[in-house]
Structure 1
């Protein structure tokens, strides 16, 4: 994990928790983008950056936003689209930590299929429908991270170990160049 940059979109409690864990695994640099600088970022030495920098500098990008308006929509809807994916390193790993409307799944499918980013881990719940799920599940570089199992400690451990091993495996390949 050395010489790698972790990017976090929305550094709330969840984003900070992820940053602490990956820092303990030896991640070199942590950057984040939020509506404003977050005081708790100092705990992990995270650097506040622009959205453009977040995209271009993140080797691993975690999406930790679940903000919605009362109507159920958000101004952030589909903000991670084909323009965003083109700005990311080809070796980037995208992880959807929370179920949110941030991702344009059709554009994500195209980005993964055409090698614009290396891989993605998507948060999926049994009762949710994920747009393009059938197409995305057919890609070897797209992984679905089950949400229900997170309620059980054994499930959390198994998912965490599996995801960490996948990230480490990919980061050791010659294609993963920071």
Structure 2
């Protein structure tokens, strides 16, 4: 069995400090990890309960021992982790992607794993799902899950309730519990419905 590394004292870099990134930070803190994050903008103290440090994207890429990805997939995040970014990373970095597969260039990741630049990778999502890059399948430094991060009864129930809450607020108040920044920037924000016209 290959030896691994103790998380204590390691610098965890979280890409995307939304609800999932913040929850991950809370779970990592008891292991004695130092935590930094990059986001569109710094998050509130209420969301950043572990006091993670806000840093620029390149600083996070260059300095983190472990990088965990919690970003939406859009034109600015597609291919965000490619050969260029992998080259910037510390030798022996660990990469976790449970967000969206196309954020990571899998061919570049396979090369980095085979060269030893990346010590290990944990993936629950893939660039061309359901196809998984052969280089990941045959590499014993990868832990691969079949995109089942939300496959629990409790999580599915919470997701159903969230959809219903969003529908209710959209119809009654013209807003969402979980607005998406890209939709608002594109002018797709909701307006409170005018029932007088009906």
Q: TM-score range by the shorter chain?
A: 0.7 to 0.9
Asked whether the equivalents of residues 97 and 125 of structure 2 are also in contact (C-alpha less than 8 Å), the reply is no
Q: CA deviation at 1:149?
A: 6.2
Cα distance in 2 for residues equivalent to 1:133 and 1:96: 15
Residue 41 of structure 2: aligned partner: 36
Secondary structure of the equivalent of 1:65?
A: coil
Asked whether the equivalents of residues 98 and 149 of structure 2 are also in contact (C-alpha less than 8 Å), the reply is no
Structure 1 gaps, min length 5: 69-73, 154-178
- Name the TM-score, length of structure 1 as normaliser: 0.74
Residue 146 of structure 1: aligned partner: 146
Cα distance in 1 for residues equivalent to 2:121 and 2:110: 10
Deviations 1:67-88 (A, max 9, x none): 43xxxxx222111011111111
Deviations 1:43-88 (A, max 9, x none): 11111101111011111110001243xxxxx222111011111111
State which of 44, 59, 63 in structure 2 corresponds to 1:57: 63
Summarize the alignment of residues 1-178 of structure 1 with structure 2, pairs less than 5 Å apart: 1-27=7-33, 29-39=34-44, 40-68=46-74, 74-124=75-125, 128-130=129-131, 133-148=133-148, 150-152=150-152
Asked whether the equivalents of residues 71 and 77 of structure 2 are also in contact (C-alpha less than 8 Å), the reply is no
Cα distance in 2 for residues equivalent to 1:41 and 1:30: 14
Asked whether the equivalents of residues 124 and 149 of structure 2 are also in contact (C-alpha less than 8 Å), the reply is no
Structure 2 gaps, min length 5: 1-6, 154-198
Secondary structure of the equivalent of 1:31?
A: strand
Deviations 1:4-32 (A, max 9, x none): 111000100000000000102221x1111
Residue 165 of structure 2: aligned partner: none
Larger Rg: 2
Cα distance in 1 for residues equivalent to 2:67 and 2:149: 22
Query: Kindly tell me: are residues 25 and 104 of structure 1, through their superposed partners in 2, closer, same or farther at Cα, counting changes over 3 Å?
Result: same
Q: Which has the higher contact order (CA 8 A, sep 6+)?
A: 1
Q: CA deviation at 1:99?
A: 2.0
RMSD across aligned C-alpha pairs, in angstroms? 2.2
